[in-house]
Amino acid sequence: MSGEKQLITAEDLYKIIYIEDPRISPDGRWIAYVQVTVDKFENGYKRSIWLASTEDGALRQLTRGDKDTQPRWSPDGTALAFTSARGEKPQIYILPVNAPGGEARALTAMPNGANNPAWSPDGTVIAFLAGLNAEGRAREDRGEEDPKPQDKLEGKHRKERKDFEETKRWDPRVVSRIPYRTGTSFLTDHFTQIYVMPVAEGLPREEAKPRRLTSVNADHNPPQWTPDGSYLLTARMGNPDGDEPWRWSNLYRIRVSDATQEQLTEESFTSFAPQPSPDGQWIAFGRLPRERLSERFNRLAIMPASGGEIIDLSLPLDRNLNEFRWSPDSKGILFTAGAQGNVELYHVTLETGQIEKLIAGTLQIENFDVHPSAGIAYTSSTPTNPNELFWRASSLDTPAQLTHVNQKFLDSVIVQPTHEIRWRSAAGEVQGWYILPPNYQEGQQYPLALNIHGGPHIMWGPSFKSQWHEWQFQAARGYVVFYCNPRGADGYGEEFQMALHAQWGPVAMQDIMSGVDAMLQKGFIDPQRLAITGGSYGGYMTAWITSHSDRFISAVANRGVYSLLGFSGTTDIASFIPTEFGIEPWEDPTYLWEHSPLAHAHKIKTPILLIHAENDYRVPISEAEQMFTYIRRTGGTVQLVRFPRDGHEMTRAGEPEHRLSNLLHTVGWFDKYCYPSSDSNG
């Protein structure tokens, strides 16, 4: 250890800052972005909008509402529209950018909130999403409005009555579609519709009102204007009465003047996120085949705006599409995709189909924006920095780092370098990485902390933002941290990703355990002190491996899937297991049971800690409850930690106190068996 730098601790979670959603101003001089900080006092997160100068890197905070997101520039660059939850419900606000001391004004006052603002090309109208049920839409169509309250007290009582009636409306709750709950809450009958609303102030009441363009019991993708301002593009499920809308999404074009709609895509693919080209000639969008949908890559596709043949542009790359933006000249599209542990920026030319890398390296680009002449703004994480904002000017090849929000923190702690390792498995070459503890001394042996990713089609890499702090913390506590991308992972081609089909446990275990053997061959790991952990599918693999191997001395399974049969009937993605295994639960329950860790729980003798959030509707807590009971009843060493209120995203976006507690429980359980009589620093 050198200087006065300290070991990274779990509490450092509160110091890490993230950058989201960069948007370049029309004149190319500024980048609006969202800065995210952890609020320890409120046990939550603060989001505010900032500006970064592309000329001199100067930073300027624009909003202080603490709940401000989705900044969108007006076409003339004089104002920003954004979404803010500073009031009771999220609404769209307008903020003048050039006026000193300008105040944000609320544009919308939708009863259930509004989000995803999109300026019309002439800057006079904003399209947005807002939720409303069929009854509310009918009242809106009839022009019915609640009278304005006479005073503040009446308004308060009216709100309380409305909230009470809404609660009673769902008591009891009648369920008629799948899913009926997701995230951390039950779904309602308020589906997001597309509205348009004039921006100007002082208009007559009828002209100033928002106008709804859709009326379907289905959620819509954020609206995108065509360059002539005549249409909006969106996506939604084609059959509003169907289940699992994420499986059945089609593109639609809506005429703004009269709200007439036209379906643009057919049913063999699920299509999403349409974007018109700047010249109005093309529509770019993402799509993937519905056959074995969860195992397939998102493809970047285009179609003529007037209709015609759909062309898949990204297929030759054989990588999964993340974000995309049109190049300003309409001759190509920029997009991000994961490959070999990194997420890089690519450009594909429409005429030739040629794909080239624009920004490459050991990094993971999360969000980006493109200016017609100035350059590219993007947020990225690296192995030594969890997140910052970067700018690559059109005249430069080397990107410039515009923000240094994590520099003070990084200057105070020891950040360990990440090392790549590759080995041979049954599938061929497998890629992984490891981090040595800060006090590493050659010739000594240290315990191993094996981390397994979820998905199962996630791609981990040395710059993976949501794991950066966790891996560095494990290393700081004296562990050699090891993680890899076994078969099933994104980033190595669709065939590699689909190789997990119907064989979740056995296939991935081969790759993972051969990676453990490759790590042991390096000589600095104590084979008697192997620890294992993972979340979601990683929790499945943690339980699967410990029920089929006794090599690990400590295990932590977080929000794991343990019964493929039970999970299929309780999750918010009911068709996921039938897609991944090629059979419905009633078609071959024996096969699914044999491939469930719960069926082998009685064999687990590794001390195992089960962590689960009580409001997890992706992987309900009943999975952990069953696993805990089975292991306990068969004589295994097991504990269950239940976190209230949070859901499946607890370790990434849950209550900060819960995230901190999760880190301490995990490493504490490792320490109990790997460092039973030491200070856990090796």
* Residue 33, CA distances (Å) to 36, 116, 377, 398 in order: 10, 15, 10, 21
Host domain of residue 514:
415-674
- Alpha-carbon 38 to chain mean position: 18
Q: In the structure encoding, which two tokens stand for residue 256, read together? A: 């703004």
Residue 232 lies in a domain: no
Q: Which helix (H) or strand (E) holds 409?
A: helix 407-412
Residue 215 lies in a domain: no
DSSP 274-293: EEE-TTSSEEEEEEEESTTG
Residue 642 lies in a domain: yes
Q: In the structure encoding, which two tokens stand for residue 589, read together? A: 């329950």
Residue 622 lies in a domain: yes
Residue 681: predicted pLDDT = 43
- Other Cβ atoms less than 10 A from the Cβ of 264: the count is 19
DSSP 371-407: -SSSEEEEEEEETTEEEEEEEEETT-SS-EE---TTH
- Return averaged pLDDT per consecutive 10 residues of the chain, 682 residues in all: 82 98 97 98 97 96 94 97 94 88 89 97 98 94 87 86 90 93 94 97 92 96 98 93 89 97 93 97 96 95 94 97 97 98 97 96 97 95 97 88 98 98 93 97 97 97 97 98 98 96 97 98 98 98 98 98 97 96 97 98 98 98 98 98 98 97 98 82 41
Residue 322 lies in a domain: no
Residue 583: predicted pLDDT = 97
Residue 100: predicted pLDDT = 62
State pTM to two decimals: 0.95
Count how many domains the chain has. Answer: 1
DSSP letter at 531 equals E
> Positive or negative, the Cα torsion across 395, 362, 649, 622?
positive
- Other Cβ atoms less than 10 A from the Cβ of 41: the count is 6
- What CATH number is associated with residue 510? 3.40.50.1820
The alpha carbons of the chain give a radius of gyration, in whole angstroms, of 26
Interhelix angle 656-674/465-476, rounded to 10 degrees, is: 40
Q: What residues contact residue 587 under an 8 Å CB cut-off, 6+ apart?
A: none
Q: For residue 149, which phi and psi values (nearest 5 degrees)? A: -60, 145
Residue 680: predicted pLDDT = 45
Residue 18 lies in a domain: no
* Residue 433, CA distances (Å) to 127, 199, 363, 421 in order: 45, 51, 14, 5
Residue 555 lies in a domain: yes
Residue 415: how many CA atoms within 13 Å on its side-chain side?
18
Burial class (CB in 10 A: 0-12, 13-18, 19+), 493: middle
With beta carbons less than 8 A apart as the criterion, state whether 264 and 276 touch: no
